[in-house]
Amino acid sequence: MKIDAIELFHVELPLARPFETRLGVWETWETVLVRMLSGDAEGWGEASPGNAPAFYSESAATAFHVLRCHLAPRVVGKYVQNPDQLLELTSGVVGNNHARAALDCAWWDLFARRQNEPLHRVLDGKHEEITLGVSFDRMATIEDLLRAIGGAFEAGFSRVELKLRPGWDASMLNLVRREFPTENIHADVEGALGLQHMELLCRLDDFFLTMLEQPLPAEDLVGMAMVQDTIRTPLGLDEAIFSLRQAELALELKSGRYVQLKLGQLGGITTAVKVHDACEEAATPCWVGTLPDSGVGTRAAYAVAALNNCAFPAGYLLPEQRPAISLVPIPEPTRPSPDQPAVIRLWNDPGIGATPQLEELCRYCVAQASIRP
């Protein structure tokens, strides 16, 4: 199919509550939407690394610039029949995976809409329902945390992820495990430890966590393999997985027993599917993570979560953890009965199953561009 035009929208959405980052407190969330046009069909993608490089090396502003000046011009006017052709056209641009992901997801949405099929079925997804997990960071008191965890399990979420921070680690987990001795709880270290912390890592075995996510920095796959060989708690790989090559190396080294698929981090659906397939061949389950966004990126992520090897509950952001405005509906969990987990039922509409309204979108625009031949 010929890519006739690509439209870019840098938007700023109000957050449901202020968001504390390493670079300050944000009251809004910036993201970039991509609209890819071919004939009378359109597809949508999203880059949502945040307002500044507080979590990733990219920001919404840099993603908008790279898409406008470097990625989109290489694609517009070209015939792109499969996603590997898109990768080839943009291969001259180094890094910038979130910007690349927005373009890739827009192509997949466009392709699925032209097939008149939901994106998750075009990707050969095996699940029509997705189980979910939620994440909690440090809170003002341990009582607040325990109430939040109890509410999550009562609502039917299949797992709870806890962020470990200095002074908010083993002692916190000890109190949580006393209150919730058998529930599915995993901890995320975000690469903050090293091999010199092996005593602490071994101690975490006492809490029977479902997973310990990214205990060592992303680049230390060998160290992760050494930790996994030492402790019985399964390790999950998050920041370490940003390409197919990195995933294959991690699987070869046995650096972890779970792999997270984040579309922005991996550069889009195309690479995420390839990583999923490599993990499935290595009998290593995957799970899908989400970021605050307009809803476009979340829907693309949930389409990937339908893949067969995505066996661990996908990430779900509670309403207070994301923008107060969604430009497309974010699928909300339902619970068939009190003895069943909360699930998201995937849609039957083509593509990602929803389309932003341009009038609403432009209300929050801070920059806009149209790239044509």
Count of beta carbons in the 10 Å neighbourhood of residue 314: 26
| Chain centre to alpha carbon of residue 269 | 11
Catalytic pick among 2, 163, 254, 274: 163
- Produce one character per residue of 315-324: b if its CB has 16 or more CB atoms within 10 Å, e if not: bbbeeebbbe
Task: State the angle between helix axes of 269-281 and 244-253 in degrees (0 to 180), rounded to the nearest 10.
Answer: 20
SS3 316: coil
CA distance 232 to 151: 29
Count of beta carbons in the 10 Å neighbourhood of residue 283: 9
Asked if residues 58 and 71 have their Cβ atoms less than 8 Å apart, the reply is no
Q: What is the CA radius of gyration of the chain?
A: 20
47, 19, 164, 21: which is closest to 105 by C-alpha?
47
177, 198, 184: which is closest to 156 by C-alpha?
184
Q: How many residues does the chain have?
A: 373
Half-sphere exposure of 44 (CA within 13 A, CB side): 23
Asked if residues 305 and 316 have their Cβ atoms less than 8 Å apart, the reply is no
Residue with tokens 């300050």: 24
Q: Give me the residues paired with residue 294 across strands.
A: none
Catalytic (active site) residue 262: yes
SS3 184: coil
User: What is the 8-class DSSP label of residue 68?
Assistant: I
User: What is the 8-class DSSP label of residue 319?
Assistant: G
Count of beta carbons in the 10 Å neighbourhood of residue 24: 11
Count of beta carbons in the 10 Å neighbourhood of residue 27: 11
Q: Give me the residues paired with residue 55 across strands.
A: none
Based on the number of CB atoms within 10 Å of its own CB, is 302 exposed (0-12), middle (13-18) or buried (19 or more)?
A: buried
Q: Which residues are designated catalytic?
A: 163, 262
